[in-house]
Amino acid sequence: MGAQREITADLLGSELVFTTSRSGGPGGQNVNKVSSKVTLQFDVRASRILTAEEKDIISLKLYSRMTREGVLVVTAQETRSQLQNKELVLEKFEKLLGEALARRKVRKPTKPSKSSARARIRKKKVHSEKKQLRRKPYDPHT
């Protein structure tokens, strides 16, 4: 597959649904009056922008953050400002998608060098000798 495209909130903007609600945590009486908690919902299965492969990867890697209907849910309620929470929820969303869609680097198996193998065996022998010296001498008459 070619170069991987970057999925951003701007690209998916029309498919994102934001809701606000009253937040818990610090804020005093402000908490009871202002809806500062922001919840972002993104219907992965119904997305027209994502490819089928991207949908499968996101569904597999982010299943614990999704509803049964395939809606990815991200919330932010860290600050007392609705606008700041909206920015935070967008950052979280982009980070989640970026990590989910990141290609893992393929590990190339390597053999240990001859010197490292020799060093390992020498270390094992030294350890074995140390243990031997700690043993009580063998006495056949007991």
For 91-125, write each residue's pLDDT tens digit. 998 898 888 888 888 999 999 999 999 999 999 99
Which residue has 């860290």 as its token pair?
78
Residue 77, CA distances (Å) to 21, 36, 58, 59 in order: 9, 7, 24, 25
83: exposed, middle or buried (Cβ count in 10 Å: 0-12, 13-18, 19+): exposed
Average pLDDT by consecutive 10-residue portion of the chain (142 residues)?
A: 61 79 71 81 86 88 88 88 89 89 88 96 96 86 74
| Cα separation, 15 vs 60, whole angstroms | 20
State how far the Cα of 84 lies from the Cα of 79, in Å rounded to an integer: 7
What's the confidence (pLDDT) of residue 3?
46
| Rounded-to-integer distance, Cα 36 and Cα 57, Å | 31
Sheet with 71-76, edge to edge strand ranges: 16-21, 37-43, 71-76
Give the pTM. 0.64
Residues contacting residue 25 through CB under 8 Å, at least 6 positions apart: 31, 77
